[in-house]
C-alpha cells in the first residue's frame, strides 16, 4: 500500500476488550490477553509503515476505579507481559524502547517493579519508542504540571514566565511528542482525556471494531484516511 503521507506519531485507545470477551463467551483474562497480544502485533505493523513513536493507553486513572477482581486481572496480565522475555526480545530486535508514563505509585508494587525492569532492558534504544500510559489521566496530568510549576515558583522565590511549550515540561507525559493520529476502537467517539496537550491538533480515527478484532487492514484504512486529510493546525 502506497500512502502519500504517514503519521510520525500515533496514539492508540484500544477499547472493547470486555465486550469482546462477553461476545465470544470467554473470560476477561483471556479477552484482555488477546488485547495485549494484538497490541504487540499492532506495534510491529506500525514499524512496517515507518511509524517510530507509538503511545498506547493501557490503564487510565478512571479505570483504577473498576472492580477489584477486574483490576487484578489487568495487573496480572501486565506483569506477565512485562516479564515475558520473548516480548522483550521482540522489542530488542525492533530496536524499540518501552517507556512507562503515569502515576506509578497507584500500581501494585510488584507490577511497578516488573514494568521498570522492562523499561531498563530497552532503555538503550533511541530509534523507535512505545509509550505505555498506565495510571494516566489527561486531567490529572494537567493538575500535576500545575502543582510542579507552583512548587518550582516557591522553590525559586519568583514567578517563572509561562508559555505553552515550557508548561509542557512539567507534565508527567513531557517526553511524549505531539501526536499526529489518534485511533480509538469499539465505536466510542471521544478522547476521554487522552493526552489533552499532545492531541490538541491530532487527526482522529474511530473504528467500530472491538480491539481484539482490529486487523492490519483496519490500520491500513486508518492510514489511508489520514493521508487524505489536510492538516492546518488552526491556520
Enumerate the β-bridge partners of residue 98.
Answer: 130
Determine which of 9-13, 130-134, 154-158, 215-219 has the lowest per-residue pLDDT on average: 154-158
- Which helix (H) or strand (E) element contains residue 29? helix 28-48
Residue 4: Cβ-neighbour burial (10 angstroms; 0-12, 13-18, 19+): exposed
Locate 42 and state its grid cell: 499492532
**Structure confidence at residue 203 (pLDDT):** 97
**Structure confidence at residue 1 (pLDDT):** 62
Residues 6+ apart with CB under 8 A from 120: none
Residue 203: Cβ-neighbour burial (10 angstroms; 0-12, 13-18, 19+): middle
Residues 6+ apart with CB under 8 A from 192: 13, 60, 62, 138
Backbone angles phi, psi at 97, to 5 degrees: -95, 135
Give the integer Cα–Cα distance in Å for 109 and 60. 17
Per-residue confidence band for 101, with pLDDT thresholds at 50, 70 and 90? very high
pTM of the predicted model, to two decimals? 0.95
Q: Are 137 and 121 in contact (CB under 8 A)?
A: no
Determine which of 47-51, 205-209, 212-216, 226-230 has the lowest per-residue pLDDT on average: 226-230
Report the percent of the chain where pLDDT is more than 90: 90
- Looking at the predicted structure, is the pLDDT value of residue 234 above 90? no
Give the integer Cα–Cα distance in Å for 7 and 177. 12
Catalytic residues: 15, 63
Regarding the domain delimited by 9-137+177-227, which CATH topology (the fold level of the hierarchy) does it fall under?
Undecaprenyl pyrophosphate synthetase (3.40.1180)
Amino acid at each position: 500500500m502506497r500512502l502519500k503521507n504517514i503519521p510520525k506519531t500515533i496514539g492508540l485507545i484500544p477499547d472493547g476488550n470486555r465486550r469482546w470477551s462477553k461476545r465470544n463467551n470467554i473470560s476477561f483474562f483471556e479477552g484482555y490477553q488477546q488485547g495485549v497480544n494484538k497490541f504487540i502485533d499492532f506495534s510491529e505493523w506500525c514499524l512496517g509503515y515507518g511509524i517510530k513513536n507509538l503511545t498506547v493507553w493501557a490503564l487510565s486513572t478512571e479505570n483504577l476505579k473498576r472492580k477489584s477482581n477486574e483490576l487484578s486481572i489487568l495487573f496480572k496480565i501486565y506483569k506477565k507481559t512485562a516479564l515475558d522475555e520473548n516480548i522483550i526480545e521482540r522489542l530488542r530486535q525492533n530496536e524499540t524502547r518501552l517507556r512507562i508514563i503515569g502515576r506509578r505509585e497507584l500500581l501494585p508494587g510488584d507490577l511497578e517493579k516488573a514494568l521498570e525492569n522492562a523499561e531498563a532492558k530497552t532503555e538503550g534504544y533511541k530509534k523507535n519508542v512505545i509509550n505505555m500510559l498506565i495510571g494516566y489521566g489527561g486531567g490529572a496530568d494537567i493538575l500535576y504540571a500545575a502543582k510542579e510549576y507552583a512548587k518550582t515558583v516557591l522553590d525559586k522565590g519568583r514567578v517563572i514566565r509561562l508559555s505553552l511549550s515550557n508548561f509542557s515540561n512539567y507534565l508527567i507525559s513531557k517526553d511524549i511528542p505531539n501526536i499526529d493520529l489518534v485511533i480509538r476502537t469499539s465505536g466510542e467517539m471521544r478522547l476521554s482525556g487522552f493526552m489533552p496537550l499532545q492531541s490538541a491538533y491530532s487527526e482522529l480515527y474511530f473504528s467500530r471494531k472491538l480491539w481484539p478484532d482490529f486487523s492490519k487492514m483496519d490500520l491500513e484504512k486508518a492510514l489511508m484516511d489520514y493521508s487524505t486529510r489536510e492538516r492546518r493546525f488552526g491556520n
